[in-house]
Amino acid sequence: MLGFPAFTGHEEPGRQGHSDAATRASVESALHAAGDIEAGEITVSISGSYLILEGVVRRRSDVERAVEIAESVVGRGYVRSRLLRR
């Protein structure tokens, strides 16, 4: 875990009772705090109960790492990646 506690009080699967803005901000903050990926070109959005990661990263491992970070915030299975590798 990255030091970002999982949300509690599940009202909606994957969203865990938080607003879209709060969820996006938490994931963006976690991505930028991670020193092992460049998150400047990653956009975070919400579609239904899923968090969507879009943008461009340098390595395949960055795609996997970004998803791992996002899942640490919103929960496993609620992240969809549309990230592309350069």
Q: Domains in the chain, ordered, with CATH? A: 17-85 (3.30.1340)
pLDDT, tens only, 36-52:
998 889 999 999 999 99
Check residue 9 and give its pLDDT: 42
51 phi-psi bin (left φ>0, alpha ψ -120 to 50, beta other): beta
The answer to whether the beta carbons of residues 84 and 57 sit under 8 Å apart is yes
CA nearest 51: which of 14, 25, 22?
14
Distance CA 79, CA 10 (A): 16
The answer to whether the beta carbons of residues 4 and 72 sit under 8 Å apart is yes
Q: What is the pTM of this model?
A: 0.78
pLDDT above 50 (res 11): no
